[in-house]
Amino acid sequence: MSAATESTYTPATATGRITNFVDQRVGGSGILREFGRKVFPDHWSFMFGEVALYTFVILLLSGTFLTFFFDPSMAESTYNGSYVPLKGVDMSVAMNSTLNISFDVRGGLFMRQVHHWSALLFTASIAVHMLRVFFTGAFRKPRELNWVVGGVLLILSLADGFTGYSLPDDLLSGNGLRIIQGVISSIPVIGTYISFFLFGGEFPGTAIIGRLYVLHILLVPAMILLMIAIHLFMVVVHKHTQYPGPGRNDRNVVGYPLGPVYAAKAGGFFFIIFGVIALMAAFFTINPIWNYGPYDPSPISAGTQPDWYIGWVDGALRLMPGWLLGIPLEWNIPLPWGVNTLSLNVLLPALVPAGIVFTVLFAYPWIERWVTKDDREHHVLDRPRNAPTRTAIGMAGFTFYCVLWAAASSDLIATHFHVSLNDVIYWLRALFFIGPIIAFTVTKRIALALQRKDREIALHGRETGRIVRLPHGEYQEVHAQLDDYKRYKLVGYESPEPSDGVPNGNGVVTKQERRRAMISRLFFEDRVAPATPAELEAAHAHAPVHEQIEEPERLKEVSH
């Protein structure tokens, strides 16, 4: 720094002088030099995190516009705006101002739709980003903590989505809020108290919209921003992962530097995302609160669902029977201070599936680390097929989620596919249990089959379909060998072997270690080993005739 401050360099242009002035005070060129040289590998599946970041920026911009006109008050008012089918209807000020944004503020409806569509895209891109990270094994050391931060970001985005969904105080979101209130009340002993504190009295009360508003625009976004900062900081520290390929290993990153190519691409990508959302907002309506009308605890509309990201919890509630084998799932338990109701038909579906999904999600990096005893850093990703058990576990979880998700639209499945609503529920209940098992088995078999195919192609090349008759009468099919770059992709992966229990310092294989060995076998016992150099050598040299007949094929390939 001291060298920089004493610099006698005077730039020729005015811009140069201003830049130099700033640089001497904040050291911008050093930062730029450091960040501009950061290398990012290029792959389309690496860009979902960026999509999430950009939609969050769009959410901040459009949300700020909406706060100018939205009034989170639950005071009673009479609508007197432009939308005729609601003229003269009593509603809360929150609903009234949202209708005004939609019909009387210039560009208001567009901004509302921009905000809501980008909220849906925000959560969707986070979900896809996490799926990519999971299936490619990018959560492994050193990125376990960043995986956790990502999981927290997912939960925060759901929280911000739900609080925002409730703000207009329309019939749809009011019913959603009522379900949440029901879930809270089902928590034993303290549930009703939490509900009372949250809603400031009996549901719906006059406080909840204002409180959700503060959470929605202040606390949750602030936490999201903090988590994004930590998330990105760790990305910089860890460097980006890359797909396997020739010349790529755990000690390098192959790709483009941030400046100028990647910075330009990323900047342009922001405007692409903004453009896509703006087009959607302009041509497709979302959350038409004027259809739903103001919230009133008595009516409900058919086809009432939460936004997609809360759908799976709603689906779990729909799947849960109230009675099981003739036994009611709701008990009134007499306790010294009075009768408490234990409502398992609400408590279990609301908390258990979400509990399972998030526990496994957060714990998975450590589960795999424990099973493989792998303490090395990994910067090269796995192709999903090359980690069959992990991929199978991921697909099982994905299926579990999707069954619940589908259950949230059970009524629409029934009407649109002309089937009985009851049958939809029965089938989804069955799939809730067997779907993940089927998905696990099928995925694992597909992954292993793909690995065998890769191995076959690496060893023997691709079938060309050209049959050649040799001078002595033998028929052979000509196989085209892959070039070295393509072959590397098929053989250059790690394939852990099942590890037996390792004795500890006292020479004893502990129970826990034996359990670990068992799970390790489950993970890796049917592994398909990548072709070794010796195998490749043997396969390619096994028949001189083979070599001969391949010659013209190769020449042909070169000639065109």
Partner 1 sequence: MKALSQRRRHPLAAVALLLMGLMLTGGLYAVATTVNKAKADTTYSADDAHEGGKLFVANCATCHGMGASGSPDGPSLVGVGAAAVDFQVGTGRMPMQLQGPQAQQKPKQFNDEQTRQLAAYVASLGAGPAVPEEKYLDGQGDAANGGVLFRVNCAMCHNAAAAGGALTRGKFAPALAGVANSHVYEAMITGPQNMPVFNDANITPEGKRDIITFLDTIEANGSPGGADLGSLGPVSEGLFIWIAGLGVVIAFTIWLTSRTS
Site residues for partner 1, window 249-308 (CB under 8 A)?
A: 255-256, 265, 268-269, 272-273, 276-277, 280-288, 290-293, 296, 298-308
Spacing of C-alpha 473 from chain mean position: 58
Indicate whether 409 belongs to the interface with partner 1 (CB under 8 A).
Answer: yes
331-390 binders of partner 1 (CB under 8 A) = none
Nearer to partner 1, 300 or 437 (CB): 300
Q: Which of 384, 519, 495, 358 is nearest to 443 (CA)?
A: 384
CB of 266 vs partner 1, minimal distance in Å: 9
CB of 306 vs partner 1, minimal distance in Å: 6
- Please choose, out of 114-122, 152-160, 206-214, 215-223, the segment that lies near partner 1 by the rule CB under 8 A: 114-122
Binder among 49, 51, 313, 440 for partner 1 (CB under 8 A): 51
Q: Which of 512, 302, 260, 495 is nearest to 386 (CA)?
A: 495
Binder among 124, 131, 223, 357 for partner 1 (CB under 8 A): 124
Indicate whether 64 belongs to the interface with partner 1 (CB under 8 A).
Answer: no
* Residue 419 token pair: 């089937």
Nearer to partner 1, 276 or 468 (CB): 276
Q: Token match 């043997």: residue?
A: 538
Amino acid at 531: A
* Residue 529 token pair: 């080993």
What is the torsion angle, in degrees rounded to the nearest 10, for the CA atoms of residue 248, residue 250, residue 252 and residue 253? 70
Amino acid at 503: P
* 495 touches 511 (CB < 8 A): no
Rounded Cα gap, residues 351 and 354, in angstroms: 6
CB of 263 vs partner 1, minimal distance in Å: 13
Query: CA of 233: how far to CAs of 35, 228, 240, 314, 416, in Å?
Result: 12, 8, 12, 35, 47
195-234 binders of partner 1 (CB under 8 A) = none
**108-135 vs 144-166: helix crossing angle, rounded to 10:** 150
Binder among 125, 181, 399, 443 for partner 1 (CB under 8 A): 125
Binder among 252, 415, 441, 464 for partner 1 (CB under 8 A): 415
Q: Which H or E element spans position 333?
A: strand 330-335
27-46 binders of partner 1 (CB under 8 A) = 41-46
Rounded Cα gap, residues 331 and 327, in angstroms: 10
- Please choose, out of 80-88, 318-326, 332-340, 473-481, the segment that lies near partner 1 by the rule CB under 8 A: 80-88
Binder among 66, 101, 114, 120 for partner 1 (CB under 8 A): 120
151-180 binders of partner 1 (CB under 8 A) = 171-172
Give Dmax (Cα) for the chain.
Answer: 98
Binder among 182, 205, 221, 245 for partner 1 (CB under 8 A): 245
81-100 binders of partner 1 (CB under 8 A) = 83-89
CB of 255 vs partner 1, minimal distance in Å: 8
CB of 451 vs partner 1, minimal distance in Å: 22
CB of 318 vs partner 1, minimal distance in Å: 12
Rounded Cα gap, residues 403 and 413, in angstroms: 12
CB of 34 vs partner 1, minimal distance in Å: 23
Nearer to partner 1, 48 or 134 (CB): 48
CB of 252 vs partner 1, minimal distance in Å: 15
Q: How far apart are the first and last CA of the chain?
A: 59
- Burial of residue 84 (CB within 10 Å: 0-12, 13-18, 19+) is exposed
CB of 122 vs partner 1, minimal distance in Å: 10
Indicate whether 128 belongs to the interface with partner 1 (CB under 8 A).
Answer: yes
CB of 280 vs partner 1, minimal distance in Å: 6
447-476 binders of partner 1 (CB under 8 A) = none
Nearer to partner 1, 175 or 520 (CB): 175
Rounded Cα gap, residues 139 and 147, in angstroms: 6
Nearer to partner 1, 82 or 441 (CB): 82
CB of 415 vs partner 1, minimal distance in Å: 5
Contacts of 2 (CB under 8 A, 6+ apart): none
Strand, helix or coil for residue 557: helix
Q: How many residues bind partner 1 (CB under 8 A)?
A: 77
Binder among 5, 13, 420, 559 for partner 1 (CB under 8 A): 420
CB of 412 vs partner 1, minimal distance in Å: 5
Rounded Cα gap, residues 302 and 514, in angstroms: 54
- Phi (first) and psi of residue 338, to 5 degrees: 130, -175
517-521 contacts at long range (C-beta below 8 A, 24 or more positions apart)? 519/371, 520/371, 520/372
Alpha helices in 408-507 (DSSP H): 410-416, 421-460, 484-491
Nearer to partner 1, 293 or 349 (CB): 293
